[in-house]
Structure 1
């Protein structure tokens, strides 16, 4: 996809997104993505040579290889949203091999999925594309619904099936968050001991985060703090939803914040909101990847490209987009993944 095609997909927002200059947190303060990102940032940390090798394998695969950016296909929705809700739009993905094939044919850096999906084809594919094994899930069959991430397997099991990295979700703000933080911190420690990289889905979950008809689960001040907690337990990469608003602390009237967060460090511009998320990933020392969100049908391609432009210009490391890719015909899914990657390959699109 050419730069002009990207501009066309951005539509009326193209000028606002492509020409915005971030005046909140300067790009000079960030550790920016690049071909030498692992050497520049991780080589002086406590990560072992084995972990560095795993990180390099992740950043060095697919169409975005050695650019400092990543495009990951995540398919854990069979548990998180039910297999029927997730795969009925395209039933071929009930077969796990097709999930892995989509990631390969789509030029992704890695495929992230469940123990069962990746184990079913591990001997055939673990050496062909980096595996990210998701350790825990909200199983979504309990009634009434609960929101509690529980382990579906061990770190050792992920290592045995050939994983390059492990992933996990923490529902920050939930009644169960303390257990999840301790459990995943210990799991990530073990993963690093075995030489695997770590990716954390830093999601918020609390009914109190909705106030006066506004949903603050994607407020930049709250999600950024979740990111900060995630890098504290040594997640190498943070997955977060793109921010849609701000001021969650003040609206809900809890916790602690500072007026400068809203007057100096953020504005209402989407790139500035995302920049604050990046800043809370240790100023970009740990890569921020934003999620692609639910499939909306005809607008999926433009939405995915828009999210990629915001993430890239904010200083993020890429996108992790699932339903927009696999809930449609295979060729369209590949086209969408390639379009996302083209944003990160476009030299005309730079850090704001």
Structure 2
């Protein structure tokens, strides 16, 4: 595997990491149809645990089988496949080495009742990720939750443990809970803050939602106005999120969000590309479609990041 100059440039931003961690980052960046471009598309399938299997898979019953998702990620030429412990224990041995794996180590459920203090439980360990041949671990934090500081302490410790054995960390940074409004969960000032918090926790790859043009905090509004920060388009807002991730020195990928039409998903990808984002992590908008439709959509997304289509 010969690294491209683009990938070498990205890895140079992780100078404090050991060769094992950088090798695993390189493996993800050099896999699939986007190999070597510095762009990534990852398939995450943790929704069965987060929302319930019926809500996640009944629309496309093939999705009840974890091997279906693993195969879909390979067939589509994606960079990595992310899933919980049980799913990877079912599928890892069926596709050894065919695509980088990300073990999602913490999760919540739809029957947890505390909206002000959303939290996640740790289901898996760094040792599980090593045992399953994973290339990274994944961890969710909820900036603004009344449980946020405990979550930061958890991931800081787990991130150190992962780095020690050569595994990168992907942080899902989703503001919610506490005094944050619903609109504030995707506000551009809060989204950038979430990216910065994840980077500060030690993330190698940061997953955030696409930001809206809403500004949640009054002091944030003053800062955006004083700095003449452009948030007029989705691409401009993506650019601001990238800048918030340590000046663009961390990989940032954006969530595909709730189920939507194919045209809307493709428009999101264009905005991410044009704003300098590193890519997408797209779950429900791919695996809830029939296989052929999912393959067509994922292929279209890849073509956008390759610059084959506008």
TM-score (norm 2): 0.93
Partner of 1:65: 35
Gapped regions of structure 1 (runs ≥ 5): 1-33, 251-255
Is the counterpart of residue 148 in structure 1 residue 119 in structure 2? yes
Q: Deviations over 1:68-105 (max 9, x none)?
A: 10010111001111111001101111111001011111
Determine helix, strand or coil for the equivalent of 1:295: coil
Q: Are the aligned partners of 1:77 and 1:83 in contact in 2 as well (CA < 8 Å)?
A: yes
Partner of 1:271: 235
* Distance change in 2, residues 1:328/1:267 (3 Å): closer
Q: 1:42 aligns with which of 11, 14, 36?
A: 11
Q: Which has the larger Rg?
A: 1
Partner of 1:325: 286
* Distance change in 2, residues 1:230/1:284 (3 Å): same
Q: 1:234 aligns with which of 187, 202, 214?
A: 202
Q: Deviations over 1:8-42 (max 9, x none)?
A: xxxxxxxxxxxxxxxxxxxxxxxxxx943442243
Q: May I ask how many residue pairs the two structures share in their alignment?
A: 305
Q: Are the aligned partners of 2:170 and 2:206 in contact in 1 as well (CA < 8 Å)?
A: yes
Provide the rounded CA distance (Å) in 2 between the counterparts of 1:37 and 1:170: 29
Q: Are the aligned partners of 1:126 and 1:161 in contact in 2 as well (CA < 8 Å)?
A: no
Partner of 1:190: 161
Partner of 2:215: 247
Partner of 1:309: 270
1:283-298 matches, cutoff 5 A = 283-296=247-260
1:43-192 matches, cutoff 5 A = 43=12, 45-143=15-113, 147-192=118-163
Displacement after TM superposition at 1:165 (Å)? 0.7
Q: Are the aligned partners of 1:216 and 1:245 in contact in 2 as well (CA < 8 Å)?
A: no
Provide the rounded CA distance (Å) in 1 between the counterparts of 2:114 and 2:231: 39
TM-score (norm 1): 0.82
Where relative contact order (Cα < 8 A, 6+ residues apart) is larger, the structure is 1
Displacement after TM superposition at 1:153 (Å)? 1.1
Provide the rounded CA distance (Å) in 2 between the counterparts of 1:277 and 1:288: 8
Provide the rounded CA distance (Å) in 1 between the counterparts of 2:298 and 2:309: 19
Displacement after TM superposition at 1:348 (Å)? 6.8
Determine helix, strand or coil for the equivalent of 1:316: coil
Gapped regions of structure 2 (runs ≥ 5): none
* Distance change in 2, residues 1:171/1:67 (3 Å): same
Displacement after TM superposition at 1:109 (Å)? 0.6
Q: Deviations over 1:123-165 (max 9, x none)?
A: 2223110001101011223356662111001111111111001
Q: 1:201 aligns with which of 168, 172, 180?
A: 172
Is the counterpart of residue 262 in structure 1 residue 225 in structure 2? yes
Q: 1:340 aligns with which of 291, 301, 310?
A: 301
Q: Are the aligned partners of 1:247 and 1:262 in contact in 2 as well (CA < 8 Å)?
A: no
Q: Are the aligned partners of 2:7 and 2:36 in contact in 1 as well (CA < 8 Å)?
A: no
